[in-house]
């Protein structure tokens, strides 16, 4: 979610859900802040989380897909910082496309909390923690839980025809 235009607080009926949080080991200090934000938001919503670690961002989609078959929603957390080569763009595009595909293919909400930033300072500004402008870990968890709650309503309806 973008910092501008962010919705006001709204109610989510997510109690009793179980959400998988899949996180990367790269940029560990930033990712730890994202995880803390996701944990705090889960506690606030009455959601149980189970966490899984992968090496880097490119490994996220496959583990997220396995989790999407077993949980109400999944949250992917990581941080990719631009380097001196085109690798940054390939990683960011692949991860975003992979996570989007998983959500659609599995019909399970996937909260994308993978930061894609120019420099480490930008990551800390988005990762939550003291004096941060945003908390993308909490936002990703909230977005996934909210979508899962709406899917519960839709799935309770009879199929047309």
pLDDT per residue as tens digits for the range 17-51: 999 999 999 999 999 999 999 999 999 999 999 99
Question: What's the whole-model pTM score?
Answer: 0.93
Tell me whether residue 85 is annotated as binding: yes
Q: Distance between alpha carbon 159 and the CA centroid of its chain, in Å?
A: 29
Tell me whether residue 106 is annotated as binding: no
Name the residues annotated as catalytic.
Answer: 87
Whether the pLDDT of residue 129 is over 60: the answer is yes
The 3-class secondary structure across 48-67, one letter per residue, is EEEEEEECCHHHHHHHHHHH
Tell me which range, 78-87, 101-110, 127-136, is most confidently predicted by mean pLDDT: 101-110
CA–CA distance from 35 to each of 11, 87, 103, 147 (Å)? 22, 25, 20, 19
Tell me whether residue 114 is annotated as binding: no
Whether the pLDDT of residue 1 is over 70: the answer is no
pLDDT value at position 83?
A: 76
Tell me whether residue 149 is annotated as binding: no
Whether the pLDDT of residue 54 is over 60: the answer is yes
- Name all domains of the chain by residue range, CATH numbers in brackets: 18-154 (3.40.50.960)
In tens, the pLDDT along 55-104 reads 999 999 999 999 999 999 999 999 999 977 778 889 999 999 999 999 99
């Amino acid at each position: 979610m973008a910092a501008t235009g962010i919705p006001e607080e709204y109610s989510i009926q997510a109690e009793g859900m179980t959400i998988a949080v899949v996180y990367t080991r790269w940029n560990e200090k930033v990712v730890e802040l994202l995880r803390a934000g996701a944990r705090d938001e889960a506690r606030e919503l009455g959601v149980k989380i189970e966490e899984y670690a992968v090496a880097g961002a490119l490994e996220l989609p496959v583990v997220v897909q396995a989790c999407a078959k077993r949980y109400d929603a999944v949250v992917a957390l990581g941080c990719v910082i631009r380097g001196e080569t085109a690798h940054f763009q390939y990683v960011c595009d692949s991860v975003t496309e992979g996570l989007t595909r998983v959500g659609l293919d599995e019909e399970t909400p996937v909260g994308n909390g993978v930061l894609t930033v120019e420099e480490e300072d930008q990551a800390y500004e988005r990762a939550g923690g003291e004096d941060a402008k945003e908390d993308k870990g909490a936002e990703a968890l909230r977005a996934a839980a909210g979508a899962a709650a709406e899917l519960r309503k839709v799935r309770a309806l009879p199929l047309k025809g």
